[in-house]
Amino acid sequence: TPPSVELSQKDTLPVTDSQSPLQQQQQQNQKQRYTRNVSLVDASRRLINRKIRYNQW
């Protein structure tokens, strides 16, 4: 299945009532932080690869 479908399935999952709004907020913040870190790592990797290619020329 394409990742977009998986994401929409996760979003439509019912949130358990046992969780307080604060906990939900914290979970969302953790997700955002994680994705931000991933994109940073990705960008730095691309930069490193570009430097390596540049040095090879």
Could you read off the pLDDT of 34-52 as tens digits, one per residue?
666 677 788 888 888 888 7
Name the domain count of the chain. Answer: 1
Distance CA 38, CA 52 (A): 21
Does residue 15 fall inside a structural domain? no
Does residue 49 fall inside a structural domain? yes
Does residue 8 fall inside a structural domain? no
**pLDDT the model gives residue 38:** 74
Distance CA 27, CA 25 (A): 5
Residues 6+ away with beta carbon under 8 Å from 15: 24
**pLDDT the model gives residue 21:** 66
Distance of CA 30 to the CA centre of its chain: 9
Q: In which domain, by residue range, is 34 found?
A: 21-57
Q: Give the SS3 label for residue 13.
A: coil
Distance CA 52, CA 57 (A): 9
- pLDDT band, very low/low/confident/very high, at 17 (cuts 50, 70, 90): low
Does residue 4 fall inside a structural domain? no
pTM: 0.31
Does residue 45 fall inside a structural domain? yes
